[in-house]
Amino acid sequence: ATVPDPVDILAVDDELDPTERDIRDTVRSFAKAELTPYITEWFEAGAMPRDVAKQIGALGLLGMHLEGYGCAGTSATAYGVACRELEAVDSGLRSFVSTQGSLAMYAIHRYGSDEQRQRWLPAMAAGEAIGCFGLTEPDAGSDPSAMRTRARRDGGDWVLDGTKLWITNSPIADVAVVWAQTDPDRGAKGIRGFVVPAGTPGFTVNEVRGKLSLRASATGELVLESVRLPKDAVLPGSGGLSAPLSCLSEARFGIAWGAVGAARACYEAALTYAGQREQFGRPIAGFQLTQRKLAEMAVTVAQASLLAARLGRLKDAGRLDPAHISVGKLANVRTALEVARSARTVLGGNGITLEYPVFRHMVNLETVLTYEGTEEMHTLSIGKAVTGVQAFR
Protein backbone atom coordinates (compact mmCIF):
# COMPACT_ATOMS: atom_id res chain seq x y z
CA ALA A 1 0.00 0.00 0.00
CA THR A 2 1.13 3.54 -0.64
CA VAL A 3 1.06 6.25 1.99
CA PRO A 4 -1.93 8.50 1.29
CA ASP A 5 -1.24 11.95 -0.13
CA PRO A 6 -2.84 14.28 2.44
CA VAL A 7 -4.32 16.52 -0.27
CA ASP A 8 -5.70 13.64 -2.36
CA ILE A 9 -6.26 11.09 0.36
CA LEU A 10 -8.24 8.69 -1.83
CA ALA A 11 -5.84 9.11 -4.79
CA VAL A 12 -8.78 10.17 -6.97
CA ASP A 13 -6.35 11.55 -9.55
CA ASP A 14 -5.31 7.96 -10.33
CA GLU A 15 -8.53 7.94 -12.37
CA LEU A 16 -7.10 10.51 -14.79
CA ASP A 17 -5.65 9.29 -18.06
CA PRO A 18 -2.05 10.24 -18.99
CA THR A 19 -3.14 13.24 -21.10
CA GLU A 20 -5.36 14.56 -18.33
CA ARG A 21 -2.51 14.14 -15.86
CA ASP A 22 -0.16 16.02 -18.19
CA ILE A 23 -2.66 18.86 -18.45
CA ARG A 24 -2.97 18.93 -14.66
CA ASP A 25 0.80 19.15 -14.24
CA THR A 26 1.17 21.81 -16.94
CA VAL A 27 -1.56 24.02 -15.49
CA ARG A 28 -0.23 23.52 -11.96
CA SER A 29 3.28 24.58 -12.84
CA PHE A 30 2.03 27.51 -14.94
CA ALA A 31 -0.16 28.58 -12.00
CA LYS A 32 2.73 28.33 -9.57
CA ALA A 33 5.06 30.40 -11.75
CA GLU A 34 2.73 32.91 -13.40
CA LEU A 35 -0.47 33.24 -11.36
CA THR A 36 0.02 32.50 -7.65
CA PRO A 37 2.79 35.09 -7.14
CA TYR A 38 0.56 37.90 -8.45
CA ILE A 39 -2.96 36.92 -7.48
CA THR A 40 -3.11 39.01 -4.30
CA GLU A 41 -2.03 42.06 -6.28
CA TRP A 42 -4.74 41.47 -8.91
CA PHE A 43 -7.36 40.83 -6.25
CA GLU A 44 -6.47 44.07 -4.47
CA ALA A 45 -6.36 46.04 -7.73
CA GLY A 46 -9.69 44.55 -8.80
CA ALA A 47 -8.46 43.36 -12.21
CA MET A 48 -6.53 40.65 -13.99
CA PRO A 49 -4.04 41.97 -16.61
CA ARG A 50 -5.04 41.31 -20.21
CA ASP A 51 -1.76 39.54 -20.95
CA VAL A 52 -2.79 36.75 -18.62
CA ALA A 53 -5.59 35.93 -21.05
CA LYS A 54 -2.98 35.42 -23.77
CA GLN A 55 -0.84 33.24 -21.52
CA ILE A 56 -3.84 31.09 -20.64
CA GLY A 57 -4.76 30.97 -24.33
CA ALA A 58 -1.22 29.92 -25.29
CA LEU A 59 -1.58 26.96 -22.94
CA GLY A 60 -4.68 25.90 -24.86
CA LEU A 61 -7.09 26.32 -21.96
CA LEU A 62 -9.66 28.58 -23.67
CA GLY A 63 -12.52 26.63 -25.21
CA MET A 64 -10.27 23.64 -24.65
CA HIS A 65 -12.94 20.94 -24.93
CA LEU A 66 -14.32 22.39 -28.19
CA GLU A 67 -13.32 20.98 -31.57
CA GLY A 68 -11.71 22.93 -34.41
CA TYR A 69 -11.27 26.71 -34.87
CA GLY A 70 -8.03 26.71 -32.89
CA CYS A 71 -9.54 24.88 -29.89
CA ALA A 72 -7.68 22.03 -28.24
CA GLY A 73 -10.47 19.43 -28.37
CA THR A 74 -9.59 17.73 -25.07
CA SER A 75 -11.82 15.51 -22.95
CA ALA A 76 -14.34 17.18 -20.66
CA THR A 77 -12.44 15.72 -17.73
CA ALA A 78 -9.27 17.48 -18.89
CA TYR A 79 -11.19 20.75 -19.02
CA GLY A 80 -12.46 20.06 -15.49
CA VAL A 81 -8.93 19.41 -14.25
CA ALA A 82 -7.75 22.71 -15.75
CA CYS A 83 -10.63 24.53 -14.01
CA ARG A 84 -9.69 22.87 -10.75
CA GLU A 85 -6.05 23.91 -10.97
CA LEU A 86 -6.93 27.49 -11.91
CA GLU A 87 -9.52 27.82 -9.16
CA ALA A 88 -6.96 26.51 -6.65
CA VAL A 89 -5.32 29.89 -7.33
CA ASP A 90 -8.47 32.00 -7.47
CA SER A 91 -12.13 31.62 -8.49
CA GLY A 92 -11.78 34.82 -10.53
CA LEU A 93 -9.24 33.20 -12.87
CA ARG A 94 -11.47 30.18 -13.35
CA SER A 95 -14.39 32.56 -13.97
CA PHE A 96 -12.43 34.18 -16.77
CA VAL A 97 -11.85 30.78 -18.38
CA SER A 98 -15.45 29.61 -17.84
CA THR A 99 -16.91 32.77 -19.32
CA GLN A 100 -14.56 32.79 -22.27
CA GLY A 101 -14.65 29.08 -23.11
CA SER A 102 -17.89 27.64 -21.83
CA LEU A 103 -20.19 30.64 -22.21
CA ALA A 104 -19.06 32.97 -25.00
CA MET A 105 -17.08 30.53 -27.17
CA TYR A 106 -19.44 27.61 -26.61
CA ALA A 107 -22.41 29.78 -27.65
CA ILE A 108 -20.69 30.79 -30.90
CA HIS A 109 -19.37 27.26 -31.52
CA ARG A 110 -22.72 25.55 -30.99
CA TYR A 111 -25.21 28.15 -32.25
CA GLY A 112 -23.13 30.37 -34.53
CA SER A 113 -22.66 30.38 -38.30
CA ASP A 114 -19.41 29.24 -39.83
CA GLU A 115 -18.53 32.90 -40.51
CA GLN A 116 -19.11 33.81 -36.84
CA ARG A 117 -16.97 30.87 -35.75
CA GLN A 118 -14.15 31.78 -38.12
CA ARG A 119 -14.30 35.42 -37.11
CA TRP A 120 -14.19 34.91 -33.34
CA LEU A 121 -13.16 31.44 -32.17
CA PRO A 122 -9.47 31.28 -33.18
CA ALA A 123 -8.81 34.72 -31.67
CA MET A 124 -10.74 33.82 -28.53
CA ALA A 125 -8.95 30.46 -28.17
CA ALA A 126 -5.65 32.37 -28.30
CA GLY A 127 -6.85 34.86 -25.67
CA GLU A 128 -6.38 37.68 -28.17
CA ALA A 129 -10.09 38.46 -28.21
CA ILE A 130 -12.01 38.37 -24.93
CA GLY A 131 -15.66 37.44 -24.77
CA CYS A 132 -18.50 37.88 -22.30
CA PHE A 133 -21.99 36.44 -21.97
CA GLY A 134 -24.92 38.68 -21.14
CA LEU A 135 -27.96 36.85 -19.84
CA THR A 136 -28.72 38.31 -16.37
CA GLU A 137 -30.52 41.65 -16.07
CA PRO A 138 -31.25 43.94 -13.13
CA ASP A 139 -34.77 42.45 -12.88
CA ALA A 140 -34.12 38.99 -14.29
CA GLY A 141 -31.60 36.85 -12.38
CA SER A 142 -32.79 33.41 -11.35
CA ASP A 143 -35.64 33.80 -13.82
CA PRO A 144 -33.97 34.75 -17.11
CA SER A 145 -37.25 34.19 -18.99
CA ALA A 146 -38.34 37.54 -17.51
CA MET A 147 -35.64 39.37 -19.50
CA ARG A 148 -36.58 42.76 -20.91
CA THR A 149 -33.81 43.13 -23.48
CA ARG A 150 -35.47 43.21 -26.90
CA ALA A 151 -34.19 42.66 -30.42
CA ARG A 152 -36.47 43.90 -33.18
CA ARG A 153 -36.12 43.70 -36.95
CA ASP A 154 -35.68 46.97 -38.80
CA GLY A 155 -35.39 46.37 -42.51
CA GLY A 156 -32.55 43.86 -42.80
CA ASP A 157 -31.02 44.89 -39.47
CA TRP A 158 -31.57 43.99 -35.84
CA VAL A 159 -31.97 46.73 -33.21
CA LEU A 160 -31.25 45.84 -29.57
CA ASP A 161 -32.40 47.70 -26.45
CA GLY A 162 -31.89 46.66 -22.84
CA THR A 163 -29.55 46.32 -19.87
CA LYS A 164 -27.55 43.34 -18.66
CA LEU A 165 -25.99 43.22 -15.21
CA TRP A 166 -23.21 41.26 -13.50
CA ILE A 167 -21.51 40.36 -16.74
CA THR A 168 -18.10 38.74 -16.16
CA ASN A 169 -15.23 39.94 -18.39
CA SER A 170 -17.42 42.66 -19.93
CA PRO A 171 -15.20 45.64 -18.99
CA ILE A 172 -12.31 44.03 -20.92
CA ALA A 173 -14.33 42.22 -23.60
CA ASP A 174 -13.95 42.60 -27.36
CA VAL A 175 -17.22 40.84 -28.00
CA ALA A 176 -20.43 40.18 -26.09
CA VAL A 177 -22.88 37.35 -26.66
CA VAL A 178 -26.13 39.08 -25.69
CA TRP A 179 -29.40 37.22 -25.18
CA ALA A 180 -32.53 39.11 -26.16
CA GLN A 181 -36.21 38.47 -26.60
CA THR A 182 -37.23 38.70 -30.26
CA ASP A 183 -40.70 39.69 -31.32
CA PRO A 184 -42.84 36.56 -30.97
CA ASP A 185 -45.66 38.06 -33.07
CA ARG A 186 -43.52 38.12 -36.16
CA GLY A 187 -42.69 34.47 -36.37
CA ALA A 188 -39.43 34.91 -34.44
CA LYS A 189 -37.96 32.18 -32.24
CA GLY A 190 -38.23 33.82 -28.80
CA ILE A 191 -34.95 34.35 -26.92
CA ARG A 192 -31.97 34.48 -29.29
CA GLY A 193 -28.26 35.19 -28.99
CA PHE A 194 -26.54 38.12 -30.72
CA VAL A 195 -22.86 38.72 -31.33
CA VAL A 196 -22.18 42.33 -30.34
CA PRO A 197 -18.64 43.65 -30.91
CA ALA A 198 -17.32 46.17 -28.38
CA GLY A 199 -17.49 49.69 -29.75
CA THR A 200 -20.77 49.18 -31.64
CA PRO A 201 -22.61 52.54 -31.45
CA GLY A 202 -25.13 52.56 -28.59
CA PHE A 203 -23.35 49.74 -26.71
CA THR A 204 -21.60 50.77 -23.48
CA VAL A 205 -20.18 48.92 -20.48
CA ASN A 206 -20.06 50.26 -16.92
CA GLU A 207 -17.77 48.43 -14.53
CA VAL A 208 -19.32 47.15 -11.28
CA ARG A 209 -17.18 48.69 -8.52
CA GLY A 210 -16.79 47.87 -4.85
CA LYS A 211 -17.06 44.08 -5.15
CA LEU A 212 -15.89 42.26 -2.00
CA SER A 213 -15.76 38.94 -3.86
CA LEU A 214 -14.20 37.75 -7.12
CA ARG A 215 -12.14 40.91 -7.29
CA ALA A 216 -9.59 39.46 -9.72
CA SER A 217 -12.40 39.18 -12.27
CA ALA A 218 -13.87 42.22 -14.00
CA THR A 219 -17.66 42.51 -13.84
CA GLY A 220 -19.85 45.03 -15.65
CA GLU A 221 -23.22 46.28 -16.77
CA LEU A 222 -24.03 46.22 -20.49
CA VAL A 223 -26.21 49.05 -21.73
CA LEU A 224 -27.75 48.66 -25.19
CA GLU A 225 -29.47 51.72 -26.58
CA SER A 226 -30.81 51.26 -30.11
CA VAL A 227 -27.80 49.12 -30.99
CA ARG A 228 -28.07 48.47 -34.71
CA LEU A 229 -26.59 45.17 -35.88
CA PRO A 230 -26.48 43.52 -39.28
CA LYS A 231 -28.78 40.61 -40.11
CA ASP A 232 -25.99 38.10 -39.56
CA ALA A 233 -25.34 39.20 -35.95
CA VAL A 234 -27.89 36.70 -34.67
CA LEU A 235 -26.66 33.22 -33.68
CA PRO A 236 -28.63 31.30 -36.31
CA GLY A 237 -28.93 28.11 -34.27
CA SER A 238 -30.34 29.84 -31.18
CA GLY A 239 -34.05 29.99 -30.40
CA GLY A 240 -35.54 29.78 -26.92
CA LEU A 241 -34.09 29.73 -23.42
CA SER A 242 -32.60 26.27 -23.91
CA ALA A 243 -29.70 27.82 -25.88
CA PRO A 244 -28.30 30.01 -23.07
CA LEU A 245 -29.12 27.27 -20.55
CA SER A 246 -27.00 24.78 -22.51
CA CYS A 247 -24.06 27.21 -22.25
CA LEU A 248 -24.62 27.52 -18.50
CA SER A 249 -24.53 23.73 -18.22
CA GLU A 250 -21.05 23.76 -19.78
CA ALA A 251 -19.81 26.39 -17.35
CA ARG A 252 -21.41 24.75 -14.31
CA PHE A 253 -19.58 21.54 -15.09
CA GLY A 254 -16.30 23.49 -14.83
CA ILE A 255 -17.46 25.09 -11.59
CA ALA A 256 -18.14 21.71 -9.98
CA TRP A 257 -14.47 20.91 -10.70
CA GLY A 258 -13.18 24.37 -9.88
CA ALA A 259 -14.71 24.36 -6.42
CA VAL A 260 -12.57 21.32 -5.60
CA GLY A 261 -9.51 23.44 -6.35
CA ALA A 262 -10.60 26.25 -4.05
CA ALA A 263 -11.41 23.76 -1.27
CA ARG A 264 -8.11 21.97 -1.71
CA ALA A 265 -6.15 25.23 -1.57
CA CYS A 266 -7.85 26.23 1.70
CA TYR A 267 -7.27 22.82 3.21
CA GLU A 268 -3.59 22.82 2.18
CA ALA A 269 -3.11 26.27 3.67
CA ALA A 270 -4.71 25.17 6.94
CA LEU A 271 -2.67 21.94 7.04
CA THR A 272 0.62 23.76 6.53
CA TYR A 273 -0.24 26.48 8.99
CA ALA A 274 -1.38 24.02 11.66
CA GLY A 275 1.92 22.17 11.40
CA GLN A 276 3.94 25.33 11.96
CA ARG A 277 1.92 27.44 14.34
CA GLU A 278 2.65 26.67 18.00
CA GLN A 279 0.46 27.45 20.97
CA PHE A 280 0.66 25.98 24.47
CA GLY A 281 4.11 24.73 23.54
CA ARG A 282 3.18 22.55 20.56
CA PRO A 283 1.94 22.79 16.97
CA ILE A 284 -1.81 23.40 16.85
CA ALA A 285 -2.01 20.41 14.43
CA GLY A 286 -1.50 18.28 17.55
CA PHE A 287 -4.75 19.38 19.19
CA GLN A 288 -7.68 17.07 18.66
CA LEU A 289 -10.06 19.88 17.79
CA THR A 290 -7.72 21.07 15.01
CA GLN A 291 -7.20 17.53 13.78
CA ARG A 292 -10.92 17.07 13.53
CA LYS A 293 -11.15 20.11 11.29
CA LEU A 294 -8.25 18.92 9.12
CA ALA A 295 -9.56 15.36 8.90
CA GLU A 296 -12.99 16.62 7.89
CA MET A 297 -11.42 18.84 5.25
CA ALA A 298 -9.48 15.85 3.88
CA VAL A 299 -12.69 13.81 3.70
CA THR A 300 -14.67 16.65 2.13
CA VAL A 301 -12.05 17.37 -0.52
CA ALA A 302 -11.89 13.66 -1.38
CA GLN A 303 -15.69 13.46 -1.71
CA ALA A 304 -15.82 16.57 -3.86
CA SER A 305 -13.02 15.17 -6.06
CA LEU A 306 -14.92 11.92 -6.56
CA LEU A 307 -18.06 13.82 -7.49
CA ALA A 308 -16.19 15.94 -10.04
CA ALA A 309 -14.49 12.86 -11.50
CA ARG A 310 -17.87 11.16 -11.87
CA LEU A 311 -19.33 14.19 -13.68
CA GLY A 312 -16.30 14.19 -15.97
CA ARG A 313 -16.77 10.59 -16.97
CA LEU A 314 -20.53 11.06 -17.49
CA LYS A 315 -19.86 14.08 -19.69
CA ASP A 316 -17.17 12.28 -21.67
CA ALA A 317 -19.61 9.43 -22.23
CA GLY A 318 -22.27 11.89 -23.45
CA ARG A 319 -24.54 10.99 -20.54
CA LEU A 320 -24.42 14.14 -18.44
CA ASP A 321 -27.87 15.46 -17.53
CA PRO A 322 -28.59 18.96 -16.11
CA ALA A 323 -29.69 17.28 -12.87
CA HIS A 324 -26.22 15.70 -12.54
CA ILE A 325 -24.67 19.13 -13.02
CA SER A 326 -26.95 20.62 -10.36
CA VAL A 327 -25.79 17.95 -7.91
CA GLY A 328 -22.16 18.75 -8.66
CA LYS A 329 -22.46 22.53 -8.61
CA LEU A 330 -24.59 22.61 -5.47
CA ALA A 331 -22.63 20.05 -3.46
CA ASN A 332 -19.12 21.07 -4.41
CA VAL A 333 -19.55 24.81 -4.00
CA ARG A 334 -21.31 24.35 -0.67
CA THR A 335 -18.61 22.04 0.65
CA ALA A 336 -15.85 24.31 -0.65
CA LEU A 337 -17.36 27.14 1.39
CA GLU A 338 -17.50 24.92 4.47
CA VAL A 339 -13.84 24.00 4.02
CA ALA A 340 -12.89 27.66 3.52
CA ARG A 341 -14.71 28.75 6.66
CA SER A 342 -13.21 25.97 8.74
CA ALA A 343 -9.71 26.63 7.35
CA ARG A 344 -10.18 30.28 8.23
CA THR A 345 -10.58 29.38 11.90
CA VAL A 346 -7.41 27.25 11.88
CA LEU A 347 -5.46 30.31 10.76
CA GLY A 348 -6.77 32.42 13.63
CA GLY A 349 -6.21 36.13 13.09
CA ASN A 350 -3.99 35.46 10.09
CA GLY A 351 -7.01 33.84 8.49
CA ILE A 352 -8.65 37.18 7.83
CA THR A 353 -5.75 38.65 5.84
CA LEU A 354 -4.80 38.60 2.18
CA GLU A 355 -1.40 37.24 3.15
CA TYR A 356 -2.97 33.77 3.20
CA PRO A 357 -5.28 32.54 0.44
CA VAL A 358 -8.12 31.31 2.63
CA PHE A 359 -10.21 34.41 3.18
CA ARG A 360 -9.88 35.40 -0.48
CA HIS A 361 -11.17 31.96 -1.50
CA MET A 362 -13.94 32.22 1.07
CA VAL A 363 -15.27 35.53 -0.20
CA ASN A 364 -14.87 34.41 -3.83
CA LEU A 365 -16.94 31.33 -3.13
CA GLU A 366 -19.86 33.52 -2.04
CA THR A 367 -20.13 34.60 -5.69
CA VAL A 368 -19.65 31.06 -6.93
CA LEU A 369 -22.54 29.97 -4.68
CA THR A 370 -24.80 32.58 -6.31
CA TYR A 371 -23.84 32.75 -9.97
CA GLU A 372 -24.57 30.08 -12.54
CA GLY A 373 -27.72 29.17 -10.62
CA THR A 374 -28.02 29.93 -6.93
CA GLU A 375 -27.85 27.24 -4.28
CA GLU A 376 -31.64 27.50 -3.98
CA MET A 377 -32.29 27.10 -7.71
CA HIS A 378 -30.08 24.01 -7.96
CA THR A 379 -31.82 22.57 -4.90
CA LEU A 380 -35.16 23.05 -6.67
CA SER A 381 -33.80 21.55 -9.91
CA ILE A 382 -32.71 18.44 -8.01
CA GLY A 383 -36.07 18.48 -6.22
CA LYS A 384 -37.82 18.49 -9.57
CA ALA A 385 -35.62 15.69 -10.91
CA VAL A 386 -36.38 13.43 -7.93
CA THR A 387 -40.08 14.22 -7.43
CA GLY A 388 -41.19 15.12 -10.93
CA VAL A 389 -42.83 18.24 -9.50
CA GLN A 390 -41.58 21.72 -10.42
CA ALA A 391 -41.52 24.02 -7.39
CA PHE A 392 -39.81 27.18 -8.60
CA ARG A 393 -42.66 28.88 -10.35
Q: Residue numbers of the site for ligand FAD (CB under 6 A)?
A: 99, 133-136, 141-142, 166-168, 214, 219, 367, 370-372, 374, 376-377, 380, 392
Alpha-carbon distance 229 to 226, whole Å?
9
The set of residues, in sequence order, having a beta carbon less than 8 Å from that of 198 and lying 6+ positions away, is 173, 174, 175, 176, 205
At closest approach, how far in Å is the CB of 379 from ligand FAD? Answer: 8
* Whether 127 contacts 58, CB under 8 Å: yes
Decide the pairing of beta strands 175-182 and 150-154: parallel
Nearest to ligand FAD of 44, 376 (CB atom): 376
At closest approach, how far in Å is the CB of 365 from ligand FAD? Answer: 12
At closest approach, how far in Å is the CB of 165 from ligand FAD? Answer: 7
Alpha-carbon distance 147 to 191, whole Å?
9
Alpha-carbon distance 215 to 250, whole Å?
23
Q: Is 84 helix (H, G, I), strand (E, B) or coil?
A: helix
Q: Is 327 helix (H, G, I), strand (E, B) or coil?
A: helix
At closest approach, how far in Å is the CB of 143 from ligand FAD? Answer: 7
Nearest to ligand FAD of 176, 260 (CB atom): 176
Nearest to ligand FAD of 2, 387 (CB atom): 387
The set of residues, in sequence order, having a beta carbon less than 8 Å from that of 141 and lying 6+ positions away, is 166
At closest approach, how far in Å is the CB of 172 from ligand FAD? Answer: 12
* Catalytic residue selected from 15, 372, 375, 376: 372
Query: Could you confirm whether 366 is annotated as catalytic?
Result: no
Burial of 55 (0-12, 13-18, 19+ CB in 10 A): middle
Amino acid at 220: G
Taking every pair of C-alpha atoms in the chain, what is the biggest distance, in angstroms? 80
Nearest to ligand FAD of 219, 326 (CB atom): 219
Nearest to ligand FAD of 104, 304 (CB atom): 104
Alpha-carbon distance 247 to 360, whole Å?
27
Active site residues: 372
